Amino acid sequence: MSGPEPTSAKLVGTLTLAGLLSGLVLVGVFQATKPLIAANRAAAMQAAVTRVVPGAVQAASYERVGDKVQPSKVEVGAASDKPMAYAGLDKDGRVLGFAIPAEGPGFMDTIRLLYGYVPGKGTVIGMEVLDSRETPGLGDKIIKDADFVGNFKQLDSKPEIVGKKKGTKSKPNEIDFITGATISSKAVVKILNGSTAQWAQPLTTAAPPAGGKP
Partner 1 sequence: MSQDNGPSPWTVLAAGLWRENPIFALVIGLCPTMAVTNTVTNALVMGVATLVVLVGSSTLVSALRKVTPGPVRITIYIIIIATFVSAVDWALAALLPAAHKQLGAFISLIVVNCIILGRAEAFAARNAVWPAVLDALGMSLGFTLAMLMISAPREILGSGTLLGHPLFGPRFEPWVIMVLPPGGFLTMATELAILAWWRQRLAARRAPAEAT
Query: Does residue 147 bind partner 1 (CB under 8 A)?
Result: no
| In the complex, least distance from residue 127 CB atom to partner 1, rounded to whole angstroms | 19
Query: Does residue 110 bind partner 1 (CB under 8 A)?
Result: no
Determine which helix (DSSP H) or strand (DSSP E) holds 42, and give its type and residue range: helix 8-52
Interface pick for partner 1 out of 63, 86, 99, 138 (rule CB under 8 A) = 138
| In the complex, least distance from residue 81 CB atom to partner 1, rounded to whole angstroms | 22
Of 1 and 210, which has the nearer Cβ to partner 1? Answer: 1
**For the stretch 48-80, what's the b/e string if a residue is b when 16 or more beta carbons lie within 10 angstroms of its beta carbon?**
bbbbbbeebebbbbbbbeeeebeebeebbbeee
Query: Does residue 10 bind partner 1 (CB under 8 A)?
Result: yes
Cα gap 127→64, rounded to integer Å: 20
Judged by CB under 8 A, how many residues of this single chain contact partner 1? 24
- Other C-beta atoms closer than 10 Å to the C-beta of 206 total 20
Of 44 and 65, which has the nearer Cβ to partner 1? Answer: 44
Cα gap 207→69, rounded to integer Å: 8
In terms of phi and psi (left: phi > 0; alpha: psi -120 to 50; beta: otherwise), the region of 141 is: alpha
CA-CA-CA-CA torsion sign (68, 70, 73, 75): positive
Query: Does residue 27 bind partner 1 (CB under 8 A)?
Result: no
Under 8 Å CB-to-CB from 204, ≥6 apart: which residues?
A: 119, 120
- Other C-beta atoms closer than 10 Å to the C-beta of 10 total 10
Cα gap 152→167, rounded to integer Å: 15
Interface pick for partner 1 out of 58, 135, 173, 193 (rule CB under 8 A) = 135
| In the complex, least distance from residue 175 CB atom to partner 1, rounded to whole angstroms | 24
Opening angle at CA 90, ends 84 and 131, nearest 5: 40
Of 19 and 159, which has the nearer Cβ to partner 1? Answer: 19
Cα gap 83→91, rounded to integer Å: 26
Query: Does residue 6 bind partner 1 (CB under 8 A)?
Result: yes
Interface pick for partner 1 out of 91, 92, 120, 136 (rule CB under 8 A) = 136
Query: Does residue 159 bind partner 1 (CB under 8 A)?
Result: no
| In the complex, least distance from residue 99 CB atom to partner 1, rounded to whole angstroms | 19
| Segment interacting with partner 1, rule: CB under 8 A, options 31-39, 77-85, 93-101, 167-175 | 31-39
Q: Which residues bind partner 1 (CB under 8 A)?
A: 1, 6, 10-11, 14-15, 18-19, 22, 25-26, 29-30, 33, 36-37, 40-41, 44, 131, 135-138
